[in-house]
Every structure is written in C-alpha cells, then in structure tokens.
Structure 1
Amino acid sequence: MRIQYWYSFLGMAFAIPAMAQQTESLVPYVKPLTGTARMGHTYPGATVPFGMVQLSPDTDTLSYEQNGQYNKDVYRYCAGYQYADKTIVGFSHTHFNGTGHSDLGDFLIMPTTGALQLNPGTADKPESGYRSAFSHDNETAEAGYYKVKLDDHHITAELTTTPRVGIHRYTFPAADQAHIILDLVHGIYNYPDKNVWTYVRVVNDTLITGYRQTNGWARTRTEYFALSFSKPFKNYGCENSSARQVYRGFWRKFNQNANFPELAGKQLKLFFDFAITQGEQVMLKMALSPVSMDGALRNLRAEAGNWNFDGYKNAAQQAWENELHRVEIFTPDKATKEVFYTSLYHTFINPTVYMDVDGSYKGLDQNVHKADGFVNYTTFSLWDTYRALHPFFNLIQPARNADMIRSMLAHYDQTSLHMLPIWSHYANENWCMTGYHSVSLIADAVVKGNASFDANKALDACIVTASNRWYEGVGDYTDKGYVPEDKSGASVSKTLEYAYDDWAIAQMARKLNRPAVYDSFMRRAAYYKNVFDASTGFMRPRLSNGSFKKEFDPLDTEGQGFIEGNAWNYSLYVPQDPGSMIELMGGKKRFVAHLDSLFTMHLPDKYFEHTEDITRDGIIGNYVHGNEPSHHVAYLYNWAGAPAKTQERVRMILKHQYHTGADGLGGNDDCGQMSAWYIFSTLGFYPVAPGSEDYAIGSPAIEKAVLHLENGNTFTVEAQNQSDKNVYVKKMLLNGQPYTKTAISHADIVKGGSLVFVMSNKP
C-alpha cells in the first residue's frame, strides 16, 4: 500500500528534473479559455496536471434526445462550456478536454441566494432556475484556478483542485436565504435514463458522502464522493425528482418522511441552507473516488486536510510550473508564448489519474484492484493521441507514459475479450473509432527504449489484440488482406489503420528479437496496397468478391469506406511506408502535385450536407487539420524530395489553426493531440510514424527552446533568423556539425545536445 499525499505530489518521481531552473513564471502564459468557443471543446476550469478532478463551470445542460430525436446541439457541450453562452448552471467535477464525444459532468455544485429553486432553468430565462448570468469581464481562468462572479446571486466563485479533490470558495453578500445546491441529476450529454442510481448520506452538519451510477457513453460508471463544508449548514433537504417528493429537515431527529440521514433514488437534488453575513466566505471540498465513499474520505484527508484555499491554489499552480518548465522557449513575442504554453497545458491534462491515494481503482471487470508500483490512468482517446501526444510523452514524460502503458496492460488483463484499450475511461471500454492503436504507443515506447514494463508480455498482448477476428473486420483483413466494405463500414480506414498498427507491432518484435513475429506482421503491414486503385490514384473500398466498389467519389465522406475523412485524406495514410506509397501514386513529381492540390483545392458545399457545419473547423482546402488522419500529411513532402514545401505548409498550419482567444483552436483538441502537434511542429520536428526512432524535420517557429529531459540531459533547438517570412531551412547543425537529413532520431535528442536551424525566406 502506498499513500500519495498532495504536497508530496510536487516531488513525485516524474516531476521536472531539478536541474531546470525556474527563472520565469510560465503559468501566466497559460490561457485555459483558449478552445472554449465553437468546436475546441476545452474547459476553462481548474485541474492539476493529469488530475482526477476537473472542476469547471457548465454553461448549459442538454439532453441527448429532443422531442424523441437526436439533439445535435449536445455536440457543442462535450466539455460543458461554450464561450458564447451568457449563463452558468453550476460547477461540476469531471470533464473531458477537447473531445468529440462526452460523458461526465458529475456532482454539480451551485451557490445561490434568495428563494430556493432546484430547477436549473433555461438560458433564455435564467431566473426560472438556480443558474446565473455572468460576464467574461468578471471571469478569470488560470492553470489550476478559476474565478467568476455569479451576477444573479451576487456571489464570487473561486475554484482550485488537488489531484483528487475539488476545492470551492464562495464569497456571499449578506443573505438570510443562502443555499448550496448539489445536483446529482446534472450531467454532460444526458442520455435517456442516464442516471441508474444515486445515494447520499448525511454524516453530520459539515460532511456528506454518496455516489452516482450512470449508464451513458460509459455503460457502467460509478463515482463516489465525500463533500465537506467549512461552515455547518443550518438546514438541508433533498428533492427526489423521480419520486416527485421533496424532503426537508435535519438528520438528528430521524423521521423517514421528513428528517433523514440518507436517501437513494435516480434523480436526487440536495440543498444546504446557511445564514450568511456580508462578505462571508464558505468553502467546500469535494473528494472523488472510483472505489468507495471511504476511499473518497481517505482522499479528502490525505490531500485537503485544512481550509487554506490560497495554499491549495499555490500548490496547484506550482505543480503546473513544474510541468511547464519541462520545455522552456525563448521569444520576444508574448502571443507565441501564450499559444505554446497553453498547448503544453492542454497536453498535460489527459490521460487522468484513476485511483485512490492507496492505489485502489475499479477495473474493467468491475472489481477493485491495486496499482502495484505504478500510477493507474484512464481517459485514453487513442485514435487521436497515439499520433503525437504519446510520442511527446515518450520524449518529455517517459515515466508517466510507461505508467499509462501499465494501465493499458492492466485493462487487457481485466477484460475477457483479450483486447488492449480502444477508447476507454472510468473502467469502461467505449469502442470508439477504428484501429487498435494501443499497440502503436506501446511499440513507440519499446523502440525508443522507454519500456520499464514487461516488454515481451506487452508484445504478446499486442499480438492477441491484432488477432481478434471478431473485431471490426479483422477476420477478413487477415484472410483477404483487406476489410471488405460490404462486411464492415469504414473499411478502407480500417485496412489502412490496421496495416500501420501491424507495422508498429513488427518494429517492437524486431527490437525484442522475435523474428517470426516481425516477418508475420511486416507482411500484414503491406496490406494497404490491397485497397489502392491505380485507375483512380486513390485508396478505394473493395467488396468481398475482390472488386472495387463502383459508386465512388473521392471527395465524399459518406459511404465511401472512410471515417472522419475522404479518399483524398486517407490515401495519404501510410505513415509506415511513405516511399512505397509515393511510388504507388505515380512517383515524386505527381505526388507533390497531388499534395499541393490537397491544400489549395476548394471543397464544394455539398460535401458538408451530411456532416454539419462543425466539420468546417480546421479545413484548409481539402486538408482537414481538425481531424487527426491528416496530421502527418504536411511532412510527406520530405519523402518526395520537396522538404521546403513541408516547411512552408507546416508554418502555414501553425499560423492559421492556432492562436490566442477562445476560438484559438481549429477543431477539437482531442485530449491534447492537436496541442501536441503544435508543440512538435513549433520545435521543428514531428513523429510521422510512431514506432520509428525518427522524427521528420519541419520548420521551427520559435527562436530557441530547451527541452529538460527526465534522464537529466537537455536538448536545445535554436532557429537563427526565424520569422513569419523566414520559414525555410537553409542549413542545420547537430551538435555543431553540418546535418543534412530530413529526420532526426530519438536517440540523438535524448542524449542531449543542440540542433541549430539557419532560416531563410527562400526555399
């Protein structure tokens, strides 16, 4: 058993190496409101790096169904907050960051004054419920801290967190009627009957415990809590919406109809009444646990044993300082620093810790397990994050990344399906998106020497995962060498993604000296060729009889064999073998022209008919930066003998898809993938094929950066003469020696040294 106390969190093994001198505070450059407008789907509230609690305002709550039909507007609220909204419903404790799907929004707290209302009301009539109007003029969002004035209640709300505890401070006006509402009905992306059961126990007049079971995107999710008040409440009550009853009273005189110590039901909303003087502050501490109410109490006592709000805020922001100082950049441009460190902040939010302070957590088998010798994580959006986020962790956060892989291997051991995670959170597998990309990030760690786990056992798990014939066309893929479209939709995407994943398995097998496995999976890695149609020059869906599907439009995304992309995008998805792909497509000259067309063509409006306007975010020509299958594409010019075009395109994407402000992200951040792309590309290199030692060279967009590595070494990137016009690499020096390759190896970076780019305005 090991207990991790909050203040020791700052000194954990994977904290910033001591040699990094924190000469400048970096927290002021983090702007958590970035991405909260349109479809960035980030949240502005408080969390610590990789924290289990994400305490943030929710500006609306929408049902999955509206008049019996799917309500497309719920997509806007994946993170619970939209910058354009004018009201706040309350502050809930769990959020996804930057996803295209949602769940969570657990345990909403809202302070109010005046007549008690237990209905949240509506945005157009906030006075009809407990929500409140607010102004961005009275809103502050920092790393680890959030503050806002609730105009309708004249209350100032402040939020901060420890890893497992959300800490609230509310400054009230004088009020005979002041309330704290705990809404256990509220959630983000409310499916019909999402709440399976809720339970609340009033321990005394300052402590409440309970839990919530939901059946949403995660089908069997239970979250426990312990809620502590700094001031005893004078009265409390609960509305059980499902039973249409209101219970009022104080537990000391137990009466089942009026004064109760506990309550259970599907739709519970509690309120706690206070007498408040002018300017009085009431604090709340809500600890979460994936295991039990006792676990939540242990987390509360271990991490939040006092009522020093400013102390918790300072500790949270120091934790962020430690993480942000892993990469120090030097530039006179403040906006560049803000975008960079906001991106770094977003990469260090997910995955999230998923265990109590004693290492207990709930597994895929719904049993309680202990994380022995590692930190257990959840929130694995792997279709997105295998591309750049986890490779970035392998470089900057290798200890954490190894623990994330241990968490995935535990997932594998706990499921009877013999699968590594696809998209998992809170002891559930969501089966979202295609491929089996856990194998990619495991292979990337093994190949790059970051396998502080049983690498051969991990390889065995990868082999079994890739051999499950029941999974999304894998049986036909192994038999025919492709996924037939008439058997499994998105067949081309699946074929291409499986081929890449199989290549990653082969690289791991080679590293571990298992030649038979290497040979087998390298054969499968070439299956991408089986869906290439030379007559059109595109990847194209094939049917079970071997023929290509007749109805084919390479610009369309509907029914063409692709997911979140079209043939133009996915025909370029062969990161494991760009050279052969280029030859298939007619050679280097034709390929460069094809890439040029991708970035400059106009995509007609009719191709947005089925996909809603949300897909317009992140589009440059027919290049879709807001969807991850295109993230490596700008770097493919390197393999076609046109590295200057890679440099030009990368800098154009950086400039147009990332900036300061609430709408500063060109699409969902996808648990940090979009931000990781920005960081790598700003530094001047990118992992086109995770599982390879190499990073493709691009165009650095920063004058200087110092990477403080966990092995104690530093690697410095310097871009001389860098500017918005000087985007072309004239020459490079690696450790003072001329360097002419279009890639740099992981080994060259982690052993320390320097890479100097001399930039020019001419290719």
Structure 2
Amino acid sequence: MFKKNHFLILSILIASQFNAQKMQNLAKYVNPIIGTEKMGHTFPGATVPFGSVQLSPETDTLSYEINGKYNPDVYKYCAGYRYEDKTIVGFSHTHFSGTGHSDLGDFLIMPTVGKLKLNPGTAQHPGSGFRSGFSHQNEKAEAGYYQVKLDDSNILAELTATTRVGFHQYTFPKSDDAHIILDLMSGIYNYDDKNVWTYVRIENDHRITGYRQTNGWARTRTVYFAMEFSKPFKSYGQKNYDGKQPYRGFWRKWNQDENFPEIAGKKIRMHFDFDTRDNEKIQVKMAISPVSQANALDNLQKETPDWNFENIKSQAQNDWNKELNKIAVNTLSENDMVNFYTAMYHTFINPTTYMDSNGEYKGLDQNVHLAKDFTNYTTFSLWDTYRALHPFFNIIQPKRNNDMVKSMLAHYDQFSLKMLPVWSHYANENWCMSGYHSVSLIADAIIKNTFTGNPEEALAACIATSNKRNYEGIGEYIDKGYISAEKNGTSVSNTLEYAYDDWAIAQIAKKLGKTDVYNEYVKRSENWRNVFDKSIGFMRPRLSDGSFKREFDLLSTHGQGFIEGNSWNYSFFVPHNPNALIDAMGGKKKFGENLDQLFTMHLPDEFFADTEDISREGIIGGYVHGNEPAHHVAYLYNFIDQPWKTQAQIRKILTMQYQARPDGLGGNDDCGQMSAWYIFSSLGFYPIAPGSDDYSIGSPSVKNAKLNLESGKVFEIEAKNQSVKNVYVEKVELNGKPIKDFTIKHQDIINGGKLVFWMTNKAKK
C-alpha cells in the first residue's frame, strides 16, 4: 500500500513538474497601461484573475457635481487613473475595468513623510495636500504587480494582490515623521453625499477593522475591511469632516482626534505614524468582505498568512500565467503579442468574485447567503459583455461562465422584482443600458452545454424577466410589437435588443422541447420589422399611432431613439436573422452598398460634439468600434457572398483600434468586451449571435494558436502565408475538410482539432 501511494505521489510530482516546465511566461506580454489614456478607462494596478480586489493608483477622484451641476470631467475618471495626469492621490482597493460609468475606489491608502496633511490637495498644487507627483519613467505595471516612486516623499510604492486582499509595500526614507493615511472619504463617482456611514475600530497597534457604506451608482453598498501593518504604529489619529463639532467622549473625558479606539461618521480620514530607517519597508495588508469585519479578517489570514510580499507577487503572476496559457499564440510582431495577451488579461478581470473565502456573500435582498456549489460573481456589464466576452468564456472559461450564470440566477431568486440582472454589482441592480441580455448569456451557456444547473428554472427566469411589463417599455413592446418614440428616448434600440433577446429565449425553449414557448418567442423576435422603415431602408422611431417619426436624422446620436449609436449603427442590428434583414434592405447588392458606405462615410463634427463617449480614434467611417452595437457588422459581408470584405475590415479594425500603447484602445474596454472582440477576431472567427452555436469566419492575425481547453483537448489554428499584407483568406479547412460557408460550429472547437487558413494578398471574389 505504501509503495503504491509512494508511486502515485511521485507520478503527480513528475506531472506537476512537467506542466510547470510546459507553462510559458506569457504574463511578460501583459501591459496594464494599455487603455489608461483617453477613452479606454482601464486601470494599471494589481489584481488577480476575477479577483475581488483591484488595487490601483488614483490620479484623481473628481466630484460628480460642482455647485449642483454635472462635472463633465468625472467621466474621464471611471477607473480613477489617467495616464495624462502627473500626480497620484493614493491607492484604493476596488475598481471597474474599462467602464463608461463610475463607482468604487474604496479605502484609499497613501504613504507620506514630513508635516502631516490630511487633505489630498490639488493636481495644480500637490504640495498643499498628501498627493504626490510621479513620473512614468519610475512606474511599472505588470500582471499582478504595480510599482511607482512618489517623488514628493521619495517613497517607493509597490502593490500586489490576492483574490480578496490588497498587499502594499512602501519603502520609506529615514524619518521620525512618516505617515500612512487611510482616506475613507475618497471614492470614484464621488457625490458629496456618497458616503452614508463609515466605522473604524482600532484592534491593537497594528490592526484595524471597519466598514464603509456608500450610496453611489450602487445605491446600498457596504464593504467591510480588515487592515494590518507589518510594523506597529507609534501613534494614530483621525479627523471627521462632517462639519459638526466632534464629540469628545462622555463628559469630554476623551479626545477622539488622537489615539481613540473607534470612530464613526460620514467623512473620515485617519493617519498612522511611524519612525522609519532609510530604505525601511512597511507593509500593509487590507482584506475586504461583502459580509462582515470578521469575514474580512478571515480572508486576510487565509490568503496572506505571512508578510512575504515577493511570495504573494509571485503567486499572483503565476495565477495570471495559468490563465494566459489557456491560449498559446505566435504573432507577426512583439506588439501583437502584447496586444493579444493584454486583451486576455483585460477579459479575465471582470466579472469579479463576490463572496468570502468561506462562501458567504450579501445578496440583493441584503441578507447573507452561502454559495454552496458555485463561485458567486458580480460586476455584470451585460449590455456590453453578452456579445463576445461570455461566448469567449464558454470556450476558454466554461466552468467560470457556468458559475456566472448561477450567480445571475441567484440574483433573480433574491430580487423582489424577480428579474435577471441588467447591470449589477455588489448586491445592487444599477439598471444601466437596455435589453435583458442576461437571457442571451444564459441561452448561450445552455445551447453550448456549459450550464450544469436546471435549464427549466433558467428558462422560467428568462421568461419572467422578458414579461416585466412596467420595465423600460416592455408592456408596450409586447402589445404593439415596438416601443413608441413618445414614451421612450431609446425606443428603437430597445425594440431591436428585446427582439434579439426574445430569439435567445426561443433557442432555450427549442432545446427543451417547449414548442409553444418557442413559437411565441420566435414571433416576438421578428419585432425588429416594426421599426424598420422600408421607404428609407433603415431603422426609424415609430409613434404610437403607427406612423414613423418625421423629424429624423440617420446620423444623429441624440433624440432619434437609439442608445450609444445612431440609425446607421443599429440598422444592421438583427444578429439573429441577418438573411431576413438583407431581404428587407433590398437584397444582397443594396445591403452591400450600405455596408460599404458605413465603413467609408465621413461623419460631421456635430456627431462628436453630441456625445461624450465616442472619440474619433474609435471610428472607421461611420462604424463606431468604441461602442458595441455594431461589433458584429464587419462579419455581415459573409452573408452577401463578399467574405473578402469581412476579411479586409477585420484586419483594419484590429490594426487601427488596438495598439500597444497607453491610448491603444479606441473606446471603453467595457469590462472586457472590446478585448474579447480582439481575441476572437485575431483567432479568425466571431459569435455574431450568442445563443447560436455558429461562429462566423473572418481573417486571423495570428500565425498560429493553440486553445488549451478545460477538457484537456486542444483546438489549433494555423494561418499559412500569414503577413501584414496577406489579409485575405484563399481557403480554410477544418480537420482537413474545406469550409465553404464561412461558418464553424461550437462543437468543432470543443471537440478539439485544427483550423487552417491559407492567407493571400489578393481578394478571392
């Protein structure tokens, strides 16, 4: 028995060593700085794959309102950090990646030396507060690690993370006046009244615990924390900025500003004071929890049991390498390698783990729940991510995507309205954007056999969500087949998105053999026809009386019935039935002419003046890659027998919209959707209509790739004669058999095999 066990252990060790040798260091290609300049809205700090903590620098956290008016600059700070800035105000523990809306930025920490300053100061006068100047020359951002020198205090700041713990390491100069500031007022999307309440308890001379309750984009969000220092602080203090006379303790026997064991209020900043030797390192660990201070402390002790910063950094980077090695590619250039693996990195940040190490989390009912058989996730930017991110997960991260579906069904169960998520995070529904696209994600997982839960219950949740008559025009949509322009500012795009989502529900029903449900929802999926004006060949807002709106501008993005787009972008949005759309537009020739015009037209200056979230960098002709509604459009040439135009446009988009530099993204990364588009298109195929098992063939930019699937199977891609100029596909074969319809099936990939492209510089018409 001993010999058998000994042999088994030896075999496992040999296999582990073999796998370790086989794993490439792909993290070296990740550059988290990409997307931090201009419109990308990514953050450069330290996180692990799908981690709860995103520990990153803030270069500013502007107030959403100035004198009661919207502050246009706050949109720039959705991730807290902008590459263009020259000062850092501190390092906080929670961030969105690539969104067009702001929140989070919890628990900001900043090391300083010299005279204590408990205000952040301004970018114009950083010396007036605790912020510091910095240089990008002294900044390093890697997967799982961030480093920067704070010039004003000569402190080297280093950050790494586990799933639930942010780990700081600060190298101080010699000083008897060193401080670490904990700012509990700071936050992204910072309304003056965002902080509802904050509580801090000093446990001893190196540990504090507490919580922060905020009312930002998420209306009721409470995050608990446990924070430890590697060195006891010699003193500490706090200041409450509520504007009230501070309470001095019972009969004024205590001074609450200095060395008082606990403090509570809306606007609190604290300082912890140290004596430091030259080059002395002080480390700080902060764990967060959605449930309790006790759980935060448990997370801290389980995930960071010691003070070995290098070990935690190495573990974080090893975690990234494990995920990145799920696809091994060779590309034409080093920059392409950087773009590819940075895109993979960005796709594996969100959604984020939302539960403690013991499985507990706070649900939408604000009660504590236990995730018994799944990892609970949050940060569902579904209007963006249903298109490519979650279909990508169904290939590369099927177990996680299964858990994400289960998380959304838990959301449904806990929600008094009995709706699936629209845009949710931290046990809150934000109601952002349109459609009920969680049904698309669920349908895609069921059709592709990723979901292991009860599909009957999943279908019931989808149907219930699609029939919420008092939500965003659904009642009128059900009754009339469209949403009228008088009643809804995004009536056309809502109608189109509901029609697609209804088709997705129909696919679940079809798989489960529910013919009556299938027929009902297939019929609903044709409602796109009700906002298609045949007289002009485009989507157009329709009035309650059935007539089309007279005052109409195909190019305008405002007041025309569309969200984040115009009629040109949305008139191609029937991903579930492109052949019917082609017929409605006048046939293949006319449809092709419209596609050509979309990619070559010139947009007037007014188009850009009317919108805050579209930059010229994100546009090719009238095609807006920086927003999602047209992400599938370049692939539609395949449906009109012009695949060479799909191939040319895909390679143009890959080249123009993704570059290995700080401003290298042509729009918000939107929780990984932009990056998922890049990965799919680089590999040579794309899911036009999630909920279908079809992928449309494009033009790969990689030389070759291996998709190492969770099942142990491998799907290989090879592009023969690949070059910058050879953007056209002469022929394509799957497992030695030619593909003539420019479509491959999901099962073709999951079964393993080989997809071979023969590339050329001449369009094959």
Normalized against structure 2, the TM-score is what?
0.96
Residue of structure 1 in register with 2:546 after alignment: 546
**Pair 1:149-2:143 in alignment:** no
How many residue pairs get aligned? The number is 745
Residue of structure 1 in register with 2:504 after alignment: 504
Residue of structure 1 in register with 2:685 after alignment: 685
Q: Equivalent residues in 2 for 1:62-77 (5 A)?
A: 62-77=62-77
CA distance in 2, matches of 1:453, 1:406: 7
CA distance in 2, matches of 1:485, 1:340: 42
**Pair 1:350-2:350 in alignment:** yes
CA offset digits 1:17-49 (Å, max 9, x no partner): 997963431011000000000010000000000
CA distance in 2, matches of 1:106, 1:416: 28
CA distance in 1, matches of 2:17, 2:540: 49
Paired residues of 1:172 and 1:281 also in contact (CA < 8 A): yes
Paired residues of 2:248 and 2:256 also in contact (CA < 8 A): no
CA distance 1:257–1:570, change in 2 (3 Å) = closer
Pairwise CA distance, 1:134: 0.2
CA distance in 2, matches of 1:500, 1:256: 59
Residue of structure 1 in register with 2:274 after alignment: 274
Structure 1: runs of 5+ lacking an equivalent: 1-15
Residue of structure 2 in register with 1:4 after alignment: none
Pairwise CA distance, 1:617: 3.8
CA distance in 2, matches of 1:607, 1:674: 22
**Pair 1:310-2:310 in alignment:** yes
Residue of structure 2 in register with 1:590 after alignment: 590
Pairwise CA distance, 1:615: 3.8
CA distance in 2, matches of 1:457, 1:616: 45
Pairwise CA distance, 1:513: 1.2
CA distance in 1, matches of 2:614, 2:62: 18
Residue of structure 2 in register with 1:475 after alignment: 475
Pairwise CA distance, 1:330: 1.5
CA distance in 2, matches of 1:471, 1:118: 45
Paired residues of 1:733 and 1:755 also in contact (CA < 8 A): yes
CA distance 1:745–1:582, change in 2 (3 Å) = same
Pairwise CA distance, 1:520: 0.5
Pairwise CA distance, 1:66: 1.5
Pairwise CA distance, 1:737: 1.9
SS in 2 for 1:631: coil
CA distance in 2, matches of 1:659, 1:123: 29
SS in 2 for 1:462: helix
**Pair 1:121-2:112 in alignment:** no
Residue of structure 1 in register with 2:61 after alignment: 61
SS in 1 for 2:311: helix
CA offset digits 1:385-422 (Å, max 9, x no partner): 00000000001000000000000000000011110000
CA distance 1:456–1:21, change in 2 (3 Å) = farther
CA distance in 1, matches of 2:610, 2:675: 28
CA distance in 2, matches of 1:233, 1:680: 51
Residue of structure 2 in register with 1:434 after alignment: 434
SS in 1 for 2:54: coil
Paired residues of 1:17 and 1:712 also in contact (CA < 8 A): no
CA distance in 2, matches of 1:206, 1:611: 49
**Pair 1:216-2:216 in alignment:** yes
Residue of structure 1 in register with 2:37 after alignment: 37
Q: Which amino acid in 1 is paired with 2:654?
A: L
**Pair 1:581-2:581 in alignment:** yes
Decide which moves more: 736-745 or 518-527.
736-745
Residue of structure 1 in register with 2:8 after alignment: none
CA distance in 1, matches of 2:380, 2:583: 35
CA distance in 2, matches of 1:19, 1:705: 18
SS in 2 for 1:223: strand
Residue of structure 2 in register with 1:759 after alignment: 759
Residue of structure 1 in register with 2:743 after alignment: 743
Decide which moves more: 719-728 or 107-116.
719-728
CA distance in 2, matches of 1:370, 1:551: 54
CA distance 1:706–1:21, change in 2 (3 Å) = farther
Pairwise CA distance, 1:616: 3.0
CA distance in 2, matches of 1:82, 1:106: 17
CA distance in 2, matches of 1:156, 1:714: 43
Pairwise CA distance, 1:700: 0.5
Q: Equivalent residues in 2 for 1:481-630 (5 A)?
A: 481-612=481-612, 614-630=614-630
SS in 1 for 2:756: strand
Residue of structure 2 in register with 1:723 after alignment: 723
Normalized against structure 1, the TM-score is what?
0.96
Pairwise CA distance, 1:611: 1.4
CA distance in 1, matches of 2:507, 2:142: 41
Residue of structure 2 in register with 1:301 after alignment: 301
Decide which moves more: 240-249 or 688-697.
240-249
CA distance in 2, matches of 1:643, 1:257: 70
Q: Which amino acid in 2 is paired with 1:412?
A: Y
SS in 2 for 1:361: strand
CA distance 1:188–1:540, change in 2 (3 Å) = same
Decide which moves more: 236-245 or 654-663.
236-245
CA offset digits 1:246-268 (Å, max 9, x no partner): 8999xxx9665754211100000
Paired residues of 1:248 and 1:258 also in contact (CA < 8 A): no
Cα RMSD after superposing both structures? 1.6
SS in 2 for 1:57: strand
Q: Which amino acid in 2 is paired with 1:64?
A: Y
Paired residues of 2:236 and 2:258 also in contact (CA < 8 A): no
**Pair 1:159-2:165 in alignment:** no
CA distance in 2, matches of 1:466, 1:18: 50
CA distance 1:576–1:614, change in 2 (3 Å) = closer
Q: Which amino acid in 2 is paired with 1:501?
A: D
CA distance in 1, matches of 2:631, 2:223: 35
Pairwise CA distance, 1:722: 1.2
Paired residues of 1:287 and 1:297 also in contact (CA < 8 A): yes
CA distance in 2, matches of 1:705, 1:258: 60
Paired residues of 1:234 and 1:274 also in contact (CA < 8 A): yes
CA distance 1:23–1:286, change in 2 (3 Å) = closer
Paired residues of 2:23 and 2:325 also in contact (CA < 8 A): no
Paired residues of 2:238 and 2:258 also in contact (CA < 8 A): no
Paired residues of 2:248 and 2:254 also in contact (CA < 8 A): no
SS in 1 for 2:433: coil
Residue of structure 2 in register with 1:453 after alignment: 453
Q: Which amino acid in 1 is paired with 2:573?
A: Y
Paired residues of 1:709 and 1:750 also in contact (CA < 8 A): yes
CA distance in 2, matches of 1:331, 1:629: 28
CA distance in 2, matches of 1:648, 1:442: 32
Paired residues of 1:730 and 1:757 also in contact (CA < 8 A): yes
CA distance 1:328–1:404, change in 2 (3 Å) = same
Structure 2: runs of 5+ lacking an equivalent: 1-15
Paired residues of 1:237 and 1:247 also in contact (CA < 8 A): no
Decide which moves more: 523-532 or 253-262.
253-262
CA distance in 2, matches of 1:728, 1:544: 47
Paired residues of 2:237 and 2:257 also in contact (CA < 8 A): no
Q: Equivalent residues in 2 for 1:161-310 (5 A)?
A: 161-243=161-243, 258-310=258-310
Identity %: 66
CA distance in 1, matches of 2:224, 2:131: 25
CA distance in 1, matches of 2:332, 2:536: 49
CA offset digits 1:331-379 (Å, max 9, x no partner): 3511110000000000000000000001110000111111111000000
Q: Which amino acid in 1 is paired with 2:328?
A: E
Pairwise CA distance, 1:300: 0.5
CA distance in 1, matches of 2:746, 2:645: 24
CA distance in 1, matches of 2:630, 2:60: 32
CA distance in 2, matches of 1:673, 1:23: 26
Residue of structure 1 in register with 2:388 after alignment: 388
CA offset digits 1:406-464 (Å, max 9, x no partner): 00000000011110000000000000000000000100000011121111100110000
CA offset digits 1:114-165 (Å, max 9, x no partner): 0000000000100000000000000000000000000000000000000000
CA distance in 2, matches of 1:669, 1:200: 35
Pairwise CA distance, 1:608: 2.5
Residue of structure 2 in register with 1:3 after alignment: none
CA offset digits 1:553-599 (Å, max 9, x no partner): 11111110100000000000000000000010010011111001000
